[in-house]
């Protein structure tokens, strides 16, 4: 189950892009529906217009290590237990939901600045943040895990999913399988995902 959840999260991040610059990075188009300049009708959600004008580099941005772990703590560890509550908190912070062309049980939220992408599963058991790889992120993530979950048990990363470089079983009410994945179509364009999958 953890592998299935992390694979869906990875696919969501791998598909995060607009037709222009991200296509050059080799990322599939997630927001294709937003780039066709739809007519102003009630059939188009307001968020679609906002997404269409989003800077491509901010879909999966170069978030600072502090911003990455802060978002993970705020939305994934300390956020509301239900997906609707997390979505409301994200929208209150100027995030918008990315339309799903092929529903996979994961909704991605993005904001047009350097804060990370946030992904939430429909059942509320999986939550993750994604950003372009940047110096200091791995050390900050390990520090967060050590501080918040000192009793965490290391897991074999390969048992969680491909591309996983760190995985731990964190105890307690806020615990679950915390995983760190690296998606690297090219070294200079690698992306990082920090997530948690709760078994209950």
Single pTM value for the model: 0.78
Which of 9-18, 38-47, 105-114, 136-145 is predicted least confidently?
Answer: 9-18
How far apart are alpha carbons 48 and 185 in whole angstroms? 27
- Which stretch, 25-34, 38-47, 173-182, has highest mean pLDDT? 173-182
Domain residue limits at 9:
2-197
> Which tokens is 115 given?
């804060």
* Arithmetic mean of pLDDT, 127-141: 95
| Other Cβ atoms closer than 10 A to 159 | 11
Question: How many structural domains is the chain composed of?
Answer: 1
Question: In whole angstroms, how far apart are CA 85 and each of 51, 152, 174?
Answer: 22, 27, 16
Phi-psi region of 94 (alpha: psi -120 to 50; beta: other; left: phi over 0): left
Contact in structure between 160 and 6 (CB atoms under 8 Å) = yes
Residues recorded for the chain = 200
Contact 120, 87 (CB under 8 A): yes
């Amino acid at each position: 189950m953890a592998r299935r959840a992390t694979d869906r999260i990875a696919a969501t991040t791998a598909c995060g892009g607009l037709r222009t610059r991200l296509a050059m990075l080799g990322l599939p188009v997630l927001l294709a529906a937003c780039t066709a300049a739809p007519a102003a009708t009630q059939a188009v959600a307001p968020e679609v217009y906002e997404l269409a004008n989003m800077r491509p580099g901010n879909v999966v941005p170069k978030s600072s290590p502090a911003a990455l772990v802060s978002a993970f703590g705020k939305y994934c560890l300390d956020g509301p237990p239900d997906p609707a509550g997390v979505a409301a908190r994200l929208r209150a912070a100027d995030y918008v939901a990315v339309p799903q062309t092929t529903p996979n049980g994961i909704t991605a939220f993005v904001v047009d600045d350097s804060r990370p992408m946030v992904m939430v599963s429909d059942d509320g058991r999986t939550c993750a943040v994604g950003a372009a790889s940047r110096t200091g992120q791995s050390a900050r993530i390990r520090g967060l895990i050590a501080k918040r979950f000192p009793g965490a048990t290391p897991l074999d990363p390969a048992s969680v999913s491909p591309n996983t470089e760190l995985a731990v079983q964190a105890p307690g009410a806020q615990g679950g399988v915390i995983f760190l994945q690296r998606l690297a179509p090219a070294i200079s364009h690698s992306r990082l995902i920090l997530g948690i999958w709760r078994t209950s």
